[in-house]
Amino acid sequence: MRRAKISIIGAGNVGATCAHWCAAGELGDVILLDVPQTENMPKSKALDLMQASPIMGYDSALSGTNDYADTANSDVVVITAGIARKPGMSRDDLLSTNAKIVTSVAENVKSTSPNAVVIAVSNPLDAMVQRAFQVLGFPSHRVIGQAGVLDTARFRAFIAMELGVSVEDVSAMLMGGHGDTMVPIASCTSVGGIPVSHLIPDDRMAQIVQRTRDGGAEIVSLLKTGSAYYAPAAATAQMVEAIVRDKKRLIPVAALCNKEYGVGGYYVGVPVILGSNGVEKIIELSLTSSEQAAFQKSVDAVKSLVATMETLLKG
């Protein structure tokens, strides 16, 4: 049986850690690519991971390269390329630089892996996946963004920490843009089947929601010289697994919504069924009036971000 070919564009902390998770899970053979200026960096990381395989017992093949030709005919392409946030820098500050980087990556992926499912991870996520879609010209179901899985994981972790319970018993859903305007869906959040509202007071829950929104910034402020990578990489690997193993996972991702939720042609975080074809179905929830208002606010923020990106690219 042919193993899936997974190419990760950007061999920094997120890309290399994603390669680690994918290889350890034997999701396929992994190619790490970075720009020529990095010389042998992606090769060294791939070789290091390959040498770990006898110890950890995984048979995935790993290789590193600076040449997109080596990624040809990938089943899944993960785009992590871009500069990372530094203390005091918002996701929006990354907009111009990373939009140009993602444009270049997408142009190369379009010519080398025209049938791939593409997962954008670069920040600011909602704008970067929109840009990748614009350049790739792929069907929208094969271009998706990783954000909702990460945001939901952070939310679940904080709830588990608050209650002193296993993270396995916490189920949650977050929608909207990645960052300050993400929307927790209270009706879809429970612990062991018990609605979270029965366990955590509203005022405390509001604090947990805010910490989730600030999850990335909190890590940036602690690290000083970088941004989160373990959880973002793990979230991306979960999406890769859903695709290469056709698992039909119902998870939140940044998907192109046209008539869905009345969005009108933008990538925002929504629950989807994720399988071998990418987004196989967008799940439309019945939101409360407050959830709908918060979601619309988040969508408006995404639209503004995309408009700013397009203005910067034209300039």
Q: Which residue of the set 20, 141, 178, 198 is catalytic? A: 178
Looking at the DSSP bridge assignments, the partners of residue 194 are 191
76 is written with which tokens?
């899944």
Q: What is the DSSP letter of 176?
A: B
Please measure the distance between the N-terminal and C-terminal CA atoms of the chain and give it in whole angstroms: 49
Q: Which residues contact 211 (CB under 8 A, 6 or more apart)?
A: 158, 218
Show the tokens assigned to 6: 């997974």
Give which of 147, 171, 152, 267 is closest to 209, Cα–Cα. Answer: 152
Angle 230-244/13-24 helices, nearest 10 degrees?
50
251: enclosing H helix or E strand:
strand 249-257
CB of 284 closer than 8 Å to CB of 263: no
**Is 178 a residue of the active site?**
yes
In angstroms, the CA 133 to CA 281 distance is 18
Question: Where do runs of H (alpha helix) occur along 177-288?
Answer: 202-213, 215-223, 230-244
**Catalytic positions, written as ranges:** 178
